[in-house]
Structure 1
Amino acid sequence: MSDALAWNTYARTRPERRPVNAAGQPTWFNWTQYPDHGPGAELLGLPAGGTALDLGCGKGGNVAHLATLGVRATGVDISPAQLDAARVRWGGTPGLSLARAEAHDFLRGAGEKWDAIYSVYGVVWFTDPAVTLPLVRERLRPGGVLAFSQRPPTPGCYGCQASYIPRGDDEDPLVVKRWDHEPETWRKLLHESGYPDVSARVLPAPPGRRKVGTLIITARA
């Protein structure tokens, strides 16, 4: 099974981003699985006119928001369906570029470095950190930031796990790998990969919701 097939299938299950958020803004940055919740683009610590790379940009809402802030923003995804949706909605945004590629291949072949590289429920969750974290480190400018978010691990279920992407009623689900670690393990992995300054926390779900929170990690190179 190709990863492109899995993420194309996933794209069909995802709703489109709302026309505006609760504040009436047409673009915004969202790290969590809940609307209008949690921090925004400030976690990236981007300088004015800085550069950012979104690994697993999906339908492009976050990377498009950065472009509207004056960031030179690049989104990478392996799914043609995700990128088609991103181009339909955000394709004319100045400063935004989108590329179809496997993330590790893109990082290895990149001829530039970025002020921030990030992943929102994206590549850092679904690729081996022993490979991904050093590759990202090589593509960050001095002092650059890696930031990513994902679900916290299920207690007792750590390391490489299986994620299931449902298909039709008469088809078996597609399976992709993900890497689940507790915050302290992520800190250790990042320190070992050359990130001296790491913050890792679980942001609780919005008040009144008995739901899982969001693991948010930032690491400065």
Structure 2
Amino acid sequence: MWTHDWLTDTRTSYDTVAVAYADLVRGAIAREQYIRTALSLFADTVRTAGGGPVADVGCGPGHVTAHLHTLGVDAFGVDLSPGMVDVARRDHPGLRFEVGSMTDLRLPDGSLAGLVAWQSLIHIPDDEVPAVFGHFHRVLRPGGPLQLLFHVGAGSRLKTEGYGGHPMQVHVHRRQPEQVVSWLREAGFEVEAQLLLSPGRAASQAVLFARRG
């Protein structure tokens, strides 16, 4: 089942857990005040700049995409896993979802008014992150906002079992915000703010707010 190709293993893993993962995160945004606040700020930024299409890259079952729609944002989802995209289309039939990879983001240059990548960067190896941020910069309009959510910490672990007890084969990478900020700046982004969730705990996360320079 598993290969030595991290991208293929990630796709297969999330195909396997798609339904269970969708059940787990359903309603999660409603329970998390700071998460809702971060998305509201992102939506306000997009609307203030005149609106336009926004990509939720690594959208999973589409719950973030759908929440952005409730905030008046013209969001669509992109995910590596066809299984996740199928679940997203099932749960949110009025929205657009497509299969794609942030490592080869097939969107026109300057076509997006904004981009979010929530908990999807965590499976990208360090040496691939600069190229991913290069794609994000390319597809955003000048001044377009970027918002990232990722696990805070150091090192990586291999996740072999996931949601609902299903088998997985994915590496989960934890990073310090300072490292991600450095990569963003090298890619041409202006980093405006960061939000730490549960700082100092094992489950700590960070939200970074940036704009395309």
* 8 Å contact kept, 1:52–1:73: yes
* 8 Å contact kept, 2:151–2:173: no
TM-score, normalised relative to structure 2: 0.77
Q: Deviations over 1:161-186 (max 9, x none)?
A: 2331417xxx9x53323443212222
RMSD, aligned CA: 2.8
Secondary structure of the structure 2 residue equivalent to 1:166? strand
For structure 1, the residue ranges without an aligned partner over 5 or more in a row are: 22-29
User: Which structure 2 residues correspond to residues 68-83 of structure 1 after superposition, within 5 A?
Assistant: 68-83=70-85
Aligned equivalents of 2:135 and 2:70: distance in 1?
27
* 8 Å contact kept, 1:190–1:198: no
For structure 2, the residue ranges without an aligned partner over 5 or more in a row are: none
Higher helix share: 2
Partner residue, 2:53: 51
What is the aligned counterpart of 1:166 among 155, 161, 166? 161
What is the aligned counterpart of 1:199 among 181, 186, 193? 193
Q: Which amino acid aligns with 1:147?
A: Q
Partner residue, 2:171: 177
Give 1:145 shift: 1.2
User: Which structure 2 residues correspond to residues 52-131 of structure 1 after superposition, within 5 A?
Assistant: 52-92=54-94, 96-105=95-104, 107=105, 109-111=106-108, 113-122=111-120, 124-127=121-124, 128-131=128-131
Aligned equivalents of 1:144 and 1:41: distance in 2?
15
Answer with 1 or 2: which has the greater Rg: 1
